[in-house]
Amino acid sequence: MHIENAIQEWTQLLGSEAVLTDAPAMSMYRCSTVSEEREVPAVLVPNTCEVISELVVIARRHGVSLYPVSTGNNWGYSDSLPDTDYTVIVDLSKLQNISFDADLGVVTVEPGVTQQQLSEYLEAQQAPYLVPVSGAGPHCSLIGNALERGYGITPYADHWGALTYLKAVLPDGTLYQNALADMGAHQVAKLHKWGLGPYLDGIFSQGAFGIVTEATFLLKRKPEKTIEFLFNVTDDTFESAVAAVQNMLAELEGVVSGVNFMNGRRVLSMIDERLGSTLGPVVVPDEEVAAMLRSKQLTEWSGVGALYGSAEMVRAAKKIVKKHLKPHAKRLVFVTPGMLRLAAAGLAVLPNVQLVREFRNLVASTRLSMQMFQGQPSQVAMPLAYLKNTYKPTRFDLPLDPAEDGSGLAWFTPLLPIKPAAARAYVEIVDRVCKKHGIEPLITLTTISTVLFDSSVPLLYSKDDPDGLQRVRDCYAELASECLKNGSYVYRLGVHSMRAVADSDDHFWDIVAAIQQALDPQQTISPGRYAPLQQSDV
């Protein structure tokens, strides 16, 4: 590896201001919510896609590995960190071009385009389409989220599924696009996800086979009406409620959003600081959690979803939601944006007593979740990352960065079928294992199809706690092992979990290694990322 020569050539190509080599300039890229450390010799910050190919050729010529990041906000997984030391980060956040087909609702973006930027663009164009939002927040990349197979709760919940076309620079510097685009069929190349011939776009999703420089997404047209529904379920009726949600999704596919189940601790984490006020292996006792829930008229499980469509469609869908959920829910309510505005206005003029403050907070959080269902980017989920952080943000109108702010977070995100017995077994595993390691079991179950949940469990720790990181690592390893024994596993990996999976003896990873050997024998792009580490990388 001749990094000095490569840096000299990159400086000639990009300019000195776009080649960072001093420690202060690179410090933000080393910040990590999972407390991993990497030796990073340089960071490249190109401002046009046109230079990416030459940038890669230089790396290949000098035997240097590159690690592309879209905005670097992969919090709780990898942040901006590569999987191996001495890998140069390529920061694509300045690539922000957007093109939009207003007739078809198809948008093409570069890697630096965030949820917020697309929202502002569509608003300026007066285009009636929903942004594919996610809980990661307004300032995260659309392409980065899709390539990691992230999801949201708007109708096009599967963001990789909504991606219909991409361009990428391969490890030899040549350009990849699908067969239709190569042939010149430009009217349809960006509209037909599967292209022609073998579906090769897929190797760039959770793959290290190139640098994606452009992607096209289908956007969902804004419906005439959006109604949010909220429900509360006791632990005794949890299984029957899971079955009811699955039946409801099957009957209302395309009309109902993703549905979130949150356990009581997860709900309380948003409204009661006692869930994050202590350092060390301290978990709030079950009896205290039960009392906190009773005091706030909450149950062991809370759920939320939304209905989309014409007024007539939503009216009919409400009846179907009631049919499925009401027999199992202690409370089921439907709210509209107008109802929430009226409630907020009414509460604003009432005396500032405890009960009124609690109702104000409830209405405010419901309005934020409604905005998410309406495709408006929001930081509503971001405070969770700061639960164990001694620093608490006070301005939520400004971009938050949990890594730079010193938050400790590792996401555990397994898949499981929407089946009552599977959901119960999983919840019991998480509750038992997290408590064993002194970590609050904050559980969310999100429907990502009519048959599948993804669960998101934040393993939170304080960086002021000397044992916190090790407890999180041990907890993650045991959760992964126990879930695998039960037939489920995570949908996504981070730098803290990559090696345990990608370096296994499973034949799948042998195939990945063979493809990588064919396309990238020098390990130029993201060595070790969703791929076995080659001997030269160790």
Query: Residue 157 sits in which domain range?
Result: 1-221+497-538
Query: Do the domain assignments include residue 464?
Result: yes
Residues 205 and 123 in one domain: yes
Residues 81 and 181 in one domain: yes
Residues 163 and 272 in one domain: no
Q: How many CB atoms lie within 10 A of CB 269?
A: 21
Query: Do the domain assignments include residue 401?
Result: no
Residues 54 and 77 in one domain: yes
Query: Do the domain assignments include residue 277?
Result: yes
Residues 382 and 297 in one domain: yes
Query: Do the domain assignments include residue 392?
Result: no
Query: Do the domain assignments include residue 397?
Result: no
- Number of separate domains in the chain: 3
- Whole-angstrom distance, CA of residue 194 vs CA of residue 135: 28
Last residue of a domain, one of 386, 421, 448: 386
Residues 316 and 343 in one domain: yes
Residues 448 and 335 in one domain: no
Query: Do the domain assignments include residue 251?
Result: yes
- Whole-angstrom distance, CA of residue 438 vs CA of residue 279: 10
DSSP string, 14-55: H-GGGEE-SHHHHHHHH--TT--------EE--SSGGGHHHH
pLDDT per residue, tens digit, the chain (538 aa), is: 689 999 999 999 999 999 999 999 899 999 999 999 999 999 999 999 999 999 999 999 999 999 999 999 999 999 999 999 999 999 999 999 999 999 999 999 999 999 999 999 999 999 999 999 998 899 999 999 999 999 998 999 999 999 999 999 999 999 999 999 999 999 999 999 999 999 999 999 999 999 999 999 999 999 999 999 999 999 999 999 999 999 999 999 999 999 999 999 999 998 877 777 677 778 999 999 999 999 888 999 999 999 999 999 999 999 999 999 999 999 999 998 888 888 788 878 788 877 777 777 777 778 888 888 999 998 888 889 999 998 888 877 788 999 999 999 999 999 999 999 999 999 999 999 999 999 999 999 999 999 999 999 999 999 999 999 999 999 999 999 999 999 999 999 999 999 999 999 999 999 999 999 999 999 999 999 999 997 654 4
Residue where the block lists tokens 């439907």: 334
* CA torsion through residues 523, 529, 533, 538, sign: positive
- What is the pLDDT at residue 536? 55
Residues 237 and 100 in one domain: no
- What is the pLDDT at residue 535? 63
- Whole-angstrom distance, CA of residue 446 vs CA of residue 193: 25
Residues 93 and 153 in one domain: yes
DSSP assignment, residue 534? P
Residues 33 and 58 in one domain: yes
- What is the pLDDT at residue 450? 95
CB 266 within 8 A of CB 289: no
Q: Directed axis angle between helix 52-61 and helix 3-14, to 10°?
A: 160
Query: Do the domain assignments include residue 402?
Result: no
- Whole-angstrom distance, CA of residue 285 vs CA of residue 302: 19
Residues 469 and 510 in one domain: no
Residues 5 and 25 in one domain: yes
Q: What is the β-pairing status of strands 260-263 and 444-447?
A: antiparallel
Q: How many residues appear in the chain?
A: 538
- What is the pLDDT at residue 351? 85
- Whole-angstrom distance, CA of residue 113 vs CA of residue 131: 12
Query: Do the domain assignments include residue 456?
Result: yes
Say which CATH number the domain at 416 has: 3.40.462.10
DSSP string, 488-533: --BS---TTTHHHHHTSS-HHHHHHHHHHHHH-TT--B-TTTTSPP
- What is the pLDDT at residue 341? 83
